[in-house]
Structure 1
């Protein structure tokens, strides 16, 4: 949720949300999003293009591989704080909270084909350049004076802008500001995980 608060309902179920929250719904349901007292901005990602490519349909209600799951923004931030207290490790590509569910815990994905993670960079911190076969769709949550390097091209960040990192592109993220950088990344990484073709490597 980029801004505002409200509720999402489907069938007899509901999730109340605020800015900074993330939630995942099973397929095959009709969901209604309602803002509360002021306008809300929702960033929505689905696997509908994947289904359209296969000419497939979403699972029927109650038969989806995932159940609805709500990740409150405060809990996401708390988990990031715990990660930042860990000893420094130069082999890490970044500090992130992977958003998954009990049903998909072993795969560490939010949907069978999609991965979702809240990534972070401390002020003055840079990510080690790396590549992978999955495409990365990145929402800048906060990151003044931050940029990414994608195949040698510098891409300046803007709050709530969305960046696309092409498959196999060498890339890194850099925080030259004085506040924690936060960026939500969704990838089609579940597909590559199941096919054992992640193709992850460092520069």
Structure 2
């Protein structure tokens, strides 16, 4: 028999050797990697040279690639004045929030000028060149891990770059506040006209610019999307309580306390109850970025609020 014939003959045996079988009841709820409450303090970007500071939790997530959550990759960018930093994430959606500073981001489709408090999104692009006019720090999130998990690269841009200026965000937030303070949530969803069904930041990312007024406690709630929560501003003794269960009175059982420190970030696991507390005399703002664009499209978000 020829070598070619032997190779063809061996292929079915090779394919069948990869077939595995699992008993249903023992495999229906597999033990997945644990997603914990993890904090990324502002000291990470307080000073130093121009650099990228990723929140890489790939070891605990058991991925073979950098990831902060199964679907998202996040971190900080620090860019010294008059210096540049290029990012080349293979992602379908990217979000950048300007913690401090000013500068611009250049890509094939044009240039976005940004200042403190601005947020902008980028679609699937080859690379972006970020240049600071003053010392700058940016918080970024993208869906690169989702693409790595699927083993794909983007074949099209699902939306155009979008800039949400601090001025516009504040104007919209003030409109919500004018509706009355007797609301459990005082915030604005940042949405994109390309995704009218999910009303999300991009087709994978979701974001809420949420104000927590002084002296207010927002009741516990939960959802099936993982949140990467960035604290924009806060006074002392402002925090989130996070736990897996609530008692009969709606209180979180054995909660983990995640402090709100301006310029810091923490992860809220999917399905965990969490409540926000502001015991200071200063209004606080948190910016959660979630994979809820993806989860919402699958109609699995399951947002629940303690009444």
Give runs of aligned pairs for residues 57-136 of structure 1, distance below 5 A.
57-59=153-155, 63-90=156-183, 92=184, 94-136=185-227
Matches within 5 A, 1:8-27: 8-27=105-124
Secondary structure of 2:219's counterpart equals coil
1:47 aligned partner: 143
Deviation of residue 88 (structure 1)? 4.5
More deviation, 191-200/140-149: 191-200
Could you tell me which residue of structure 1 aligns to residue 127 of structure 2?
30
TM-score (norm 2): 0.62
Which residue is 2:241 aligned to? 149
What per-residue deviation string (whole Å, max 9, x for no partner) do you get for residues 103-126 of structure 1? 123311122121012111111111
Please state whether the residue corresponding to 1:3 is helix, strand or coil.
strand
Is 1:139 aligned to 2:230, yes or no?
A: yes
Q: What 5-or-longer segments of structure 1 have no aligned partner?
A: none
Cα distance between partner residues in 2 of 1:103 and 1:173? 31
Q: Is the 8 A contact 2:193 2:199 kept in 1?
A: no
Distance in 2 (alpha carbons) for counterparts of 1:27 and 1:177: 41
Between 100-109 and 66-75, report the one with greater CA deviation.
100-109
Query: How many residues in Structure 1 have an aligned counterpart in Structure 2?
Result: 197
Query: Over alpha carbons, which structure has the higher Rg?
Result: 2
Q: Partners in 2 of 1:158 and 1:3 — Cα distance?
A: 15
RMSD: 1.4
Cα distance, 1:58 vs structure 2: 2.4
Structure showing the higher helix proportion among its residues: 2
Does 1:202 find its partner at 2:305?
yes
2:137 and 2:187 map into 1 onto residues whose CA distance is 23
Write the distance in 2 (CA, Å) between the matches of 1:202 and 1:183: 18
* 3-state SS, counterpart of residue 145 of structure 2: helix
Question: Per-residue deviation at 1:89?
Answer: 4.8
Quote how far apart the aligned CAs of 1:200 are.
1.7
Please report the TM-score for the alignment, with normalisation by the length of structure 1.
Answer: 0.92
Output the CA distance in 1 between the equivalents of 2:132 and 2:196.
Answer: 31
Give distance in 1, aligned partners of 2:109 and 2:120.
17
Please give the alpha-carbon distance, in whole angstroms, between the structure 2 residues aligned to 1:40 and 1:87: 35
Q: Which residue number corresponds to residue 287 of structure 2?
A: 184
